[in-house]
Amino acid sequence: MEHNGGSQSVLHITPAASVSDPRYQLIEFLTEQSGSLLNSVRFYVRRMELARGEAVQAAALEVMQEVIVEALDHVERFDTSRQPMAWLLGIAMNVIKRKKVEGAKRYQRELSIARFSRTSGEPLSESDLFDQISPSVSAGPEEGVAADEQAALILSLVSPDDQQVLRLAFLYEFDREELARRLGITPVAARVRLHRALGRLRSAWHEQHTHQQKGESI
């Protein structure tokens, strides 16, 4: 009897003590209103053009999952005097904006790689490689990050020694004399190393591109 009485007191006390707990309120809301929240998230996914057509539902579910995780991770920011729906939708809009930025970066990176691949199969010149590896003068912070990732992806095709030469020449824009000084060799030797590194990079890229084309044709 005492055990049952103790259990009953816990059942009465726990919810009462949790009413003012932000985490409890959010979990209770998510349990009862998950369908309404998903409908609202789906509306914003479509309105903000994160996805279209049949892809909207999957995108909305992904956004909602991130919203729940972010909300519970930062539950201390939730004002219990406000409606949970408004706060959660604010997080959802930020998640959607973030995903759109990430998508734009990914698209730009893929577009740059596609241009770099030169599907015509023509050999890449040194100027082609220079344009793809070198940072854009007019690039903003976001474009700069994407450009750095693109350069790292391209340079990963060659050895660390070749990467060093190419980075110094293109990313840091060292002239022949400065490149030679950094490498501890003569300017003539520096030019030869750079030329050979570019040749190996062109060969490695074409080899990878050829394998990709064969894989797509299977």
Condensed to tens digits (0 to 9), the pLDDT of residues 124-153 reads 554 555 555 555 444 444 444 445 566 777
Q: What DSSP letter does each residue of 31-60 carry, written as one string? A: HHHHHHHHHHHHHHHHHTTS--TTHHHHHH
* CATH, residue 159: 1.10.10
187 shares its domain with 161? yes
pLDDT for position 146:
46
pLDDT for position 31:
92
With respect to residue 113, please indicate whether it lies within any of the assigned structural domains. Answer: no
pLDDT tens profile 73-122:
999 999 888 889 999 999 999 999 998 888 776 655 554 445 544 433 44
Total domains in the chain come to 2
N- to C-terminal Cα separation, the chain: 73
With respect to residue 12, please indicate whether it lies within any of the assigned structural domains. Answer: yes
CA distances from 30 to 7, 67, 158 (A): 26, 11, 50
- Which domain covers residue 66, as residue numbers? 2-108
pLDDT tens profile 181-200:
999 999 889 889 988 988 88
51 shares its domain with 131? no
The residue with greater pLDDT, 206 or 180, is: 180
Of 80, 108, 136, the residue at which a domain comes to its end is 108
